[in-house]
Structure 1
Amino acid sequence: METETNNSGDLKPQPNTHSTFTASEISLRITAAATSLTAACLMFNSRQSKVLYGTPLDARYTYTPALKFFTVMNVVVCALSVLSLLSVFMLVRKFSSSVNYFYLFLHDLLIMVLLAGGIGAATTVAQVGKYGNSYAGWMPICDNFGKFCHKVAPSLILGYLCLFCYLVLAIISANKARQMKV
Protein backbone atom coordinates (compact mmCIF):
# COMPACT_ATOMS: atom_id res chain seq x y z
CA MET A 1 0.00 0.00 0.00
CA GLU A 2 1.32 3.39 -0.91
CA THR A 3 1.74 5.80 1.97
CA GLU A 4 3.00 9.30 2.43
CA THR A 5 4.49 11.03 5.45
CA ASN A 6 3.02 14.26 6.76
CA ASN A 7 4.91 16.97 8.73
CA SER A 8 4.69 15.09 12.05
CA GLY A 9 6.10 11.89 10.54
CA ASP A 10 2.80 9.94 10.68
CA LEU A 11 1.98 7.63 7.82
CA LYS A 12 -1.34 8.33 6.10
CA PRO A 13 -2.73 6.23 3.24
CA GLN A 14 -2.85 7.95 -0.11
CA PRO A 15 -6.37 8.94 -1.17
CA ASN A 16 -6.44 6.57 -4.16
CA THR A 17 -5.71 3.51 -2.02
CA HIS A 18 -7.99 4.80 0.72
CA SER A 19 -10.87 5.17 -1.73
CA THR A 20 -10.30 1.65 -3.09
CA PHE A 21 -10.43 0.18 0.42
CA THR A 22 -13.49 2.26 1.24
CA ALA A 23 -15.33 1.24 -1.94
CA SER A 24 -14.62 -2.44 -1.34
CA GLU A 25 -15.64 -2.09 2.30
CA ILE A 26 -18.92 -0.40 1.39
CA SER A 27 -19.75 -2.96 -1.30
CA LEU A 28 -18.96 -5.86 1.06
CA ARG A 29 -21.17 -4.37 3.79
CA ILE A 30 -24.04 -3.90 1.33
CA THR A 31 -23.57 -7.48 0.09
CA ALA A 32 -23.51 -8.79 3.66
CA ALA A 33 -26.69 -6.90 4.56
CA ALA A 34 -28.46 -8.12 1.43
CA THR A 35 -27.43 -11.75 1.85
CA SER A 36 -28.37 -11.87 5.52
CA LEU A 37 -31.75 -10.23 4.83
CA THR A 38 -32.44 -12.64 1.97
CA ALA A 39 -31.42 -15.62 4.10
CA ALA A 40 -33.77 -14.49 6.86
CA CYS A 41 -36.65 -13.98 4.41
CA LEU A 42 -36.13 -17.46 2.97
CA MET A 43 -36.23 -18.94 6.46
CA PHE A 44 -39.35 -16.94 7.38
CA ASN A 45 -41.08 -18.46 4.34
CA SER A 46 -39.79 -22.01 4.83
CA ARG A 47 -42.78 -24.04 5.90
CA GLN A 48 -44.59 -27.01 4.51
CA SER A 49 -47.63 -28.96 5.64
CA LYS A 50 -48.29 -32.52 4.63
CA VAL A 51 -50.50 -35.43 5.63
CA LEU A 52 -48.49 -38.61 6.20
CA TYR A 53 -50.19 -41.85 7.18
CA GLY A 54 -53.37 -39.93 8.01
CA THR A 55 -51.58 -37.50 10.34
CA PRO A 56 -51.14 -33.83 9.42
CA LEU A 57 -47.51 -32.76 9.88
CA ASP A 58 -45.76 -29.41 9.60
CA ALA A 59 -42.15 -28.50 8.92
CA ARG A 60 -41.24 -24.98 10.04
CA TYR A 61 -38.05 -23.23 11.00
CA THR A 62 -39.61 -22.29 14.36
CA TYR A 63 -39.72 -25.95 15.41
CA THR A 64 -35.94 -26.12 15.66
CA PRO A 65 -34.03 -23.81 18.01
CA ALA A 66 -30.96 -23.87 15.76
CA LEU A 67 -32.93 -22.65 12.74
CA LYS A 68 -34.66 -20.00 14.87
CA PHE A 69 -31.25 -18.80 16.08
CA PHE A 70 -29.96 -18.75 12.51
CA THR A 71 -32.96 -16.68 11.36
CA VAL A 72 -32.81 -14.17 14.22
CA MET A 73 -29.04 -13.94 13.82
CA ASN A 74 -29.48 -13.00 10.16
CA VAL A 75 -31.91 -10.21 11.05
CA VAL A 76 -29.47 -8.89 13.68
CA VAL A 77 -26.55 -9.09 11.25
CA CYS A 78 -28.53 -7.19 8.61
CA ALA A 79 -29.33 -4.41 11.08
CA LEU A 80 -25.75 -4.23 12.34
CA SER A 81 -24.45 -4.22 8.76
CA VAL A 82 -26.56 -1.17 7.96
CA LEU A 83 -25.37 0.56 11.14
CA SER A 84 -21.74 -0.23 10.38
CA LEU A 85 -22.28 1.08 6.86
CA LEU A 86 -23.31 4.40 8.36
CA SER A 87 -20.17 4.45 10.52
CA VAL A 88 -18.01 3.74 7.48
CA PHE A 89 -19.56 6.73 5.71
CA MET A 90 -18.62 8.85 8.73
CA LEU A 91 -15.03 7.51 8.66
CA VAL A 92 -14.73 8.28 4.94
CA ARG A 93 -15.26 12.01 5.39
CA LYS A 94 -11.97 12.39 7.20
CA PHE A 95 -8.93 10.24 7.78
CA SER A 96 -9.76 8.85 11.19
CA SER A 97 -7.46 7.49 13.83
CA SER A 98 -6.64 3.83 14.10
CA VAL A 99 -8.81 3.57 17.22
CA ASN A 100 -11.96 4.00 15.12
CA TYR A 101 -10.84 1.33 12.70
CA PHE A 102 -9.98 -0.95 15.63
CA TYR A 103 -13.56 -0.59 16.92
CA LEU A 104 -14.82 -1.39 13.44
CA PHE A 105 -12.57 -4.47 13.42
CA LEU A 106 -14.03 -5.60 16.77
CA HIS A 107 -17.52 -5.07 15.37
CA ASP A 108 -16.74 -7.15 12.28
CA LEU A 109 -15.12 -9.87 14.36
CA LEU A 110 -18.12 -10.07 16.71
CA ILE A 111 -20.52 -10.37 13.80
CA MET A 112 -18.33 -13.00 12.19
CA VAL A 113 -18.39 -15.11 15.37
CA LEU A 114 -22.17 -14.68 15.63
CA LEU A 115 -22.58 -15.75 12.01
CA ALA A 116 -20.30 -18.76 12.43
CA GLY A 117 -22.29 -19.97 15.45
CA GLY A 118 -25.65 -19.60 13.75
CA ILE A 119 -24.55 -21.14 10.49
CA GLY A 120 -22.82 -24.04 12.25
CA ALA A 121 -25.93 -24.87 14.26
CA ALA A 122 -28.26 -24.55 11.26
CA THR A 123 -25.97 -26.62 9.03
CA THR A 124 -25.92 -29.42 11.59
CA VAL A 125 -29.71 -29.49 11.81
CA ALA A 126 -29.99 -29.34 8.00
CA GLN A 127 -27.59 -32.26 7.66
CA VAL A 128 -29.65 -34.35 10.07
CA GLY A 129 -32.83 -33.30 8.27
CA LYS A 130 -31.42 -34.37 4.91
CA TYR A 131 -29.63 -37.58 5.87
CA GLY A 132 -31.03 -38.49 9.27
CA ASN A 133 -28.96 -40.28 11.89
CA SER A 134 -29.26 -44.04 11.86
CA TYR A 135 -27.41 -44.42 15.17
CA ALA A 136 -29.91 -42.20 17.00
CA GLY A 137 -32.90 -43.51 15.03
CA TRP A 138 -33.63 -40.14 13.39
CA MET A 139 -35.18 -40.39 9.96
CA PRO A 140 -34.45 -37.85 7.22
CA ILE A 141 -37.32 -35.43 6.62
CA CYS A 142 -36.26 -33.95 3.28
CA ASP A 143 -37.71 -36.96 1.47
CA ASN A 144 -41.18 -35.92 2.67
CA PHE A 145 -40.72 -32.14 3.05
CA GLY A 146 -38.75 -31.23 -0.06
CA LYS A 147 -40.20 -27.72 -0.40
CA PHE A 148 -39.08 -26.88 3.14
CA CYS A 149 -35.58 -28.23 2.57
CA HIS A 150 -35.27 -26.41 -0.76
CA LYS A 151 -35.72 -23.09 1.05
CA VAL A 152 -33.38 -23.91 3.93
CA ALA A 153 -30.48 -24.89 1.66
CA PRO A 154 -30.21 -21.56 -0.23
CA SER A 155 -30.62 -19.71 3.05
CA LEU A 156 -27.58 -21.55 4.41
CA ILE A 157 -25.59 -20.82 1.25
CA LEU A 158 -26.39 -17.11 1.61
CA GLY A 159 -25.36 -17.32 5.26
CA TYR A 160 -21.98 -18.72 4.26
CA LEU A 161 -21.59 -15.94 1.68
CA CYS A 162 -22.33 -13.36 4.38
CA LEU A 163 -19.78 -15.03 6.66
CA PHE A 164 -17.16 -14.80 3.91
CA CYS A 165 -17.97 -11.09 3.43
CA TYR A 166 -17.42 -10.46 7.13
CA LEU A 167 -14.18 -12.45 7.11
CA VAL A 168 -12.86 -10.15 4.39
CA LEU A 169 -14.23 -7.09 6.19
CA ALA A 170 -12.48 -8.11 9.42
CA ILE A 171 -9.21 -8.47 7.51
CA ILE A 172 -9.66 -5.05 5.87
CA SER A 173 -10.54 -3.39 9.19
CA ALA A 174 -7.58 -4.99 10.95
CA ASN A 175 -5.27 -3.91 8.16
CA LYS A 176 -6.53 -0.32 8.28
CA ALA A 177 -6.25 -0.20 12.08
CA ARG A 178 -2.68 -1.47 11.85
CA GLN A 179 -1.63 0.98 9.14
CA MET A 180 -3.14 4.14 10.56
CA LYS A 181 -1.31 6.17 13.17
CA VAL A 182 -3.10 7.99 15.98
Structure 2
Amino acid sequence: MKSGQAEIAETSKGIQKRGLMSRKIAIFEFILRIIAFFNTISSAILMATTNETLPFFTQFIRFHADYNDLPALTFFVVANAVVSGYLILTLPLAFVHIVKKKTENSRILLIILDVAMVGLLASGAASAAAIVYLAHKGNNNTNWFPVCQQFNSFCERISGSLIGSFIAVALLIFLIILSAIALSRRH
Protein backbone atom coordinates (compact mmCIF):
# COMPACT_ATOMS: atom_id res chain seq x y z
CA MET A 1 0.00 0.00 0.00
CA LYS A 2 2.75 2.43 0.90
CA SER A 3 4.70 1.76 -2.28
CA GLY A 4 1.63 2.71 -4.35
CA GLN A 5 1.33 5.99 -2.49
CA ALA A 6 5.04 6.65 -2.99
CA GLU A 7 4.66 6.05 -6.73
CA ILE A 8 1.72 8.45 -6.88
CA ALA A 9 3.68 11.07 -4.94
CA GLU A 10 6.69 10.65 -7.29
CA THR A 11 4.46 10.89 -10.35
CA SER A 12 2.81 14.01 -8.94
CA LYS A 13 6.20 15.63 -8.31
CA GLY A 14 7.30 14.75 -11.86
CA ILE A 15 4.17 16.34 -13.33
CA GLN A 16 4.70 19.46 -11.21
CA LYS A 17 8.34 19.70 -12.36
CA ARG A 18 7.27 19.36 -16.01
CA GLY A 19 4.60 22.01 -15.50
CA LEU A 20 7.09 24.38 -13.89
CA MET A 21 9.60 23.78 -16.68
CA SER A 22 6.91 24.39 -19.32
CA ARG A 23 5.98 27.65 -17.62
CA LYS A 24 9.66 28.73 -17.58
CA ILE A 25 9.93 27.89 -21.28
CA ALA A 26 6.75 29.89 -21.98
CA ILE A 27 8.11 32.92 -20.10
CA PHE A 28 11.40 32.65 -21.99
CA GLU A 29 9.51 32.41 -25.29
CA PHE A 30 7.50 35.53 -24.41
CA ILE A 31 10.69 37.47 -23.67
CA LEU A 32 12.35 36.22 -26.88
CA ARG A 33 9.33 37.34 -28.91
CA ILE A 34 9.65 40.83 -27.46
CA ILE A 35 13.39 40.94 -28.22
CA ALA A 36 12.81 39.65 -31.76
CA PHE A 37 10.10 42.29 -32.24
CA PHE A 38 12.49 45.08 -31.28
CA ASN A 39 15.16 43.67 -33.61
CA THR A 40 12.81 43.48 -36.60
CA ILE A 41 11.11 46.83 -36.07
CA SER A 42 14.42 48.61 -35.50
CA SER A 43 15.89 46.96 -38.61
CA ALA A 44 12.91 48.07 -40.68
CA ILE A 45 13.03 51.62 -39.34
CA LEU A 46 16.80 51.89 -39.69
CA MET A 47 16.69 50.72 -43.30
CA ALA A 48 13.64 52.80 -44.22
CA THR A 49 15.22 56.00 -42.92
CA THR A 50 18.56 55.43 -44.63
CA ASN A 51 19.61 57.83 -47.34
CA GLU A 52 22.67 59.89 -48.18
CA THR A 53 23.38 62.60 -50.72
CA LEU A 54 26.87 63.44 -51.94
CA PRO A 55 27.89 66.42 -54.06
CA PHE A 56 29.65 65.64 -57.29
CA PHE A 57 31.98 68.27 -58.85
CA THR A 58 29.52 71.08 -58.17
CA GLN A 59 26.73 71.60 -55.68
CA PHE A 60 24.16 71.31 -58.50
CA ILE A 61 25.08 67.76 -59.44
CA ARG A 62 24.52 65.31 -56.60
CA PHE A 63 24.47 61.57 -56.11
CA HIS A 64 21.73 60.23 -53.91
CA ALA A 65 21.54 56.80 -52.24
CA ASP A 66 18.22 55.68 -50.82
CA TYR A 67 17.03 52.27 -49.66
CA ASN A 68 14.04 52.27 -52.04
CA ASP A 69 16.34 52.63 -55.04
CA LEU A 70 16.94 48.89 -54.74
CA PRO A 71 13.97 46.46 -54.68
CA ALA A 72 15.89 43.99 -52.48
CA LEU A 73 16.20 46.60 -49.73
CA THR A 74 12.52 47.52 -50.09
CA PHE A 75 11.64 43.83 -49.73
CA PHE A 76 13.86 43.74 -46.64
CA VAL A 77 11.91 46.60 -45.05
CA VAL A 78 8.55 45.00 -45.88
CA ALA A 79 9.64 41.57 -44.59
CA ASN A 80 10.88 43.05 -41.30
CA ALA A 81 7.69 45.09 -40.90
CA VAL A 82 5.47 42.05 -41.53
CA VAL A 83 7.43 39.88 -39.08
CA SER A 84 7.39 42.58 -36.40
CA GLY A 85 3.61 42.90 -36.83
CA TYR A 86 3.32 39.13 -36.53
CA LEU A 87 5.45 39.10 -33.38
CA ILE A 88 3.26 41.75 -31.73
CA LEU A 89 0.11 39.85 -32.66
CA THR A 90 1.46 36.61 -31.17
CA LEU A 91 2.37 38.14 -27.81
CA PRO A 92 -1.12 37.57 -26.31
CA LEU A 93 -1.00 33.94 -27.44
CA ALA A 94 2.46 33.55 -25.93
CA PHE A 95 1.10 35.02 -22.70
CA VAL A 96 -1.66 32.41 -22.71
CA HIS A 97 1.07 29.74 -22.78
CA ILE A 98 2.39 31.13 -19.50
CA VAL A 99 -1.02 31.06 -17.81
CA LYS A 100 -2.66 27.90 -19.23
CA LYS A 101 -1.39 24.36 -19.15
CA LYS A 102 -3.22 22.83 -22.14
CA THR A 103 -1.79 24.77 -25.09
CA GLU A 104 -0.79 22.06 -27.57
CA ASN A 105 -2.93 23.34 -30.47
CA SER A 106 -1.80 26.94 -30.13
CA ARG A 107 1.84 25.85 -29.84
CA ILE A 108 1.52 23.85 -33.05
CA LEU A 109 -0.03 26.87 -34.77
CA LEU A 110 2.77 29.11 -33.53
CA ILE A 111 5.42 26.66 -34.73
CA ILE A 112 3.90 26.63 -38.22
CA LEU A 113 3.58 30.42 -38.35
CA ASP A 114 7.06 30.92 -36.86
CA VAL A 115 8.54 28.72 -39.59
CA ALA A 116 6.77 30.81 -42.24
CA MET A 117 8.08 34.02 -40.64
CA VAL A 118 11.62 32.63 -40.48
CA GLY A 119 11.39 31.94 -44.21
CA LEU A 120 10.14 35.44 -44.97
CA LEU A 121 12.63 37.18 -42.72
CA ALA A 122 15.59 35.06 -43.86
CA SER A 123 14.78 35.66 -47.52
CA GLY A 124 14.49 39.41 -46.93
CA ALA A 125 17.75 39.49 -44.99
CA ALA A 126 19.55 37.33 -47.55
CA SER A 127 18.47 39.50 -50.47
CA ALA A 128 19.59 42.62 -48.60
CA ALA A 129 22.86 40.91 -47.66
CA ALA A 130 23.63 40.39 -51.35
CA ILE A 131 23.14 44.11 -52.01
CA VAL A 132 25.18 45.09 -48.96
CA TYR A 133 27.98 42.79 -50.10
CA LEU A 134 27.97 44.41 -53.55
CA ALA A 135 27.94 47.86 -51.97
CA HIS A 136 31.00 46.99 -49.88
CA LYS A 137 33.00 44.84 -52.32
CA GLY A 138 31.61 45.59 -55.77
CA ASN A 139 31.97 43.20 -58.68
CA ASN A 140 34.72 43.88 -61.21
CA ASN A 141 33.30 41.40 -63.75
CA THR A 142 30.08 43.40 -64.12
CA ASN A 143 31.61 46.86 -63.51
CA TRP A 144 29.79 47.30 -60.20
CA PHE A 145 32.03 49.52 -58.15
CA PRO A 146 32.02 49.48 -54.36
CA VAL A 147 29.96 52.50 -53.35
CA CYS A 148 30.62 52.29 -49.62
CA GLN A 149 33.82 54.27 -50.03
CA GLN A 150 31.69 57.26 -51.03
CA PHE A 151 28.41 56.53 -49.21
CA ASN A 152 29.92 55.57 -45.87
CA SER A 153 26.99 56.54 -43.64
CA PHE A 154 24.50 54.79 -45.93
CA CYS A 155 26.48 51.57 -45.87
CA GLU A 156 26.96 51.61 -42.10
CA ARG A 157 23.23 51.99 -41.52
CA ILE A 158 22.18 49.25 -43.93
CA SER A 159 24.82 46.91 -42.49
CA GLY A 160 23.59 47.56 -38.95
CA SER A 161 20.01 46.98 -40.06
CA LEU A 162 21.04 43.69 -41.60
CA ILE A 163 22.71 42.53 -38.38
CA GLY A 164 19.54 43.19 -36.38
CA SER A 165 17.48 41.21 -38.86
CA PHE A 166 19.79 38.20 -38.80
CA ILE A 167 19.68 38.23 -34.99
CA ALA A 168 15.87 38.13 -35.25
CA VAL A 169 16.13 35.13 -37.61
CA ALA A 170 18.25 33.30 -35.03
CA LEU A 171 15.77 34.21 -32.27
CA LEU A 172 12.83 32.91 -34.31
CA ILE A 173 14.65 29.64 -34.97
CA PHE A 174 15.32 29.37 -31.24
CA LEU A 175 11.63 30.05 -30.57
CA ILE A 176 10.66 27.18 -32.85
CA ILE A 177 13.02 24.86 -31.00
CA LEU A 178 11.68 25.98 -27.61
CA SER A 179 8.08 25.45 -28.72
CA ALA A 180 8.94 21.98 -29.96
CA ILE A 181 10.63 21.19 -26.63
CA ALA A 182 7.61 22.48 -24.71
CA LEU A 183 5.32 20.30 -26.86
CA SER A 184 7.45 17.21 -26.38
CA ARG A 185 7.53 17.68 -22.59
CA ARG A 186 3.74 17.60 -22.42
CA HIS A 187 3.54 14.01 -23.65
TM-score, structure 1 normalization: 0.88
Q: Which runs of 4+ in 1 moved over 6 A?
A: none
Higher helix share: 2
Counterpart for residue 98 of structure 2: 92
Question: Do the aligned residues in 1 keep the contact of 2:125 with 2:166 (CA within 8 Å)?
Answer: yes
Counterpart for residue 52 of structure 2: 48
What is the aligned counterpart of 2:77 among 71, 77, 81? 71
Is residue 2:18 matched to residue 1:14? Answer: yes
User: Mind listing any 5+ residue stretches in structure 1 that lack a counterpart?
Assistant: none
Q: Which amino acid aligns with 1:99?
A: N
C-alpha deviation, 1:51, in angstroms: 1.9
Is residue 2:41 matched to residue 1:37? Answer: yes
- Give the 3 Å change call, closer, same or farther, for CA 26–97 of structure 1 in structure 2: closer
Partner Cα separation in structure 2 for residue 13 and residue 83 of structure 1: 30
Q: Which amino acid aligns with 2:97?
A: L
3-state SS of 2:140 partner? coil
3-state SS of 1:50 partner? strand
Q: Which amino acid aligns with 1:125?
A: I
Once the two structures are aligned, what percentage of the paired residues are identical?
A: 27
C-alpha deviation, 1:163, in angstroms: 0.6
Whichever of the two has the greater Rg, that structure is 2
Counterpart for residue 25 of structure 1: 29
The residue correspondences of 1:124-163 to structure 2 (distance < 5 A) are 124-163=130-169
Is residue 2:181 matched to residue 1:175? Answer: yes
Question: Do the aligned residues in 2 keep the contact of 1:12 with 1:180 (CA within 8 Å)?
Answer: no
3-state SS of 1:48 partner? strand
Count of matched residue positions in the alignment of Structure 1 and Structure 2:
174
CA RMSD of superposed structures (Å): 1.8
Report Cα offsets for 1:40-64 as digits up to 9, x if no partner. 1111221001122443111010001
- Give the 3 Å change call, closer, same or farther, for CA 13–73 of structure 1 in structure 2: farther
Partner Cα separation in structure 2 for residue 130 and residue 32 of structure 1: 27
Question: Do the aligned residues in 2 keep the contact of 1:26 with 1:88 (CA within 8 Å)?
Answer: yes
Report Cα offsets for 1:82-101 as digits up to 9, x if no partner. 11111111232211242221
3-state SS of 2:141 partner? coil
User: Mind listing any 5+ residue stretches in structure 2 that lack a counterpart?
Assistant: 1-9
Partner Cα separation in structure 2 for residue 45 and residue 105 of structure 1: 32
Higher deviation after alignment, 49-58 or 18-27: 49-58
Partner Cα separation in structure 1 for residue 176 and residue 80 of structure 2: 18
Q: Which amino acid aligns with 2:158?
A: V
